[in-house]
Amino acid sequence: MKRFLIPMTVIGLLAGCSIPPEKKSAREQSLKVTADDFIQHITQDDWAGAYGMTEAGLDGPEEFKESLKRTWVNDAVLTGGVISSMAWVSDDTAKVKVNWSFQSGTVPSYSSETYAWAWKNKTWIYKGRVLR
């Protein structure tokens, strides 16, 4: 009986760690909306709005802006951003890949960045850039 009880307990604990599919689907939709809002704030040069979606680990919107722009195309104007993919890391953490578009004179250019998001207090919070 002990041989059967221990594996069933472990299976029960593991099953309890994952959120139900309908809740995961709702979180996924919420993440898409949140990431789209984040992109919109940035493309509209609303760094305070984008910063408000973060953990506020940097010293304000200006430092956040400089941190985010480090890997972008130099001397180009940001013209847009779109979500190209989203992936779960855990039930409370996801990665969102954004393709940013730029214009430098007549030359268009692009940059892809992957960002981590965490589910906290029933909302998604930007955590930072991650490796792809």
Residue 6 included in any domain: no
pLDDT per position as a tens digit, 55-78: 877 789 999 999 999 888 888 999
Domain count for the chain: 1
pLDDT per position as a tens digit, 12-64: 334 445 889 999 999 999 999 999 999 999 999 999 999 999 987 778 999 99
Q: Provide the pLDDT for residue 71.
A: 85
Domain encompassing residue 89:
20-130
Residue 3 included in any domain: no
Q: How would you class 38 by CB atoms within 10 Å of its CB: exposed for 0-12, middle for 13-18, buried for 19 or more?
A: buried
Cα 113 from Cα 67, distance rounded (Å): 13
**114: CATH:** 3.10.450.50
Residue 11 included in any domain: no
Residue 94 included in any domain: yes
Residue 2 included in any domain: no
pTM above 0.75, yes or no: yes
Residue 15 included in any domain: no
- Band of the pLDDT at 9, cuts 50, 70, 90? very low
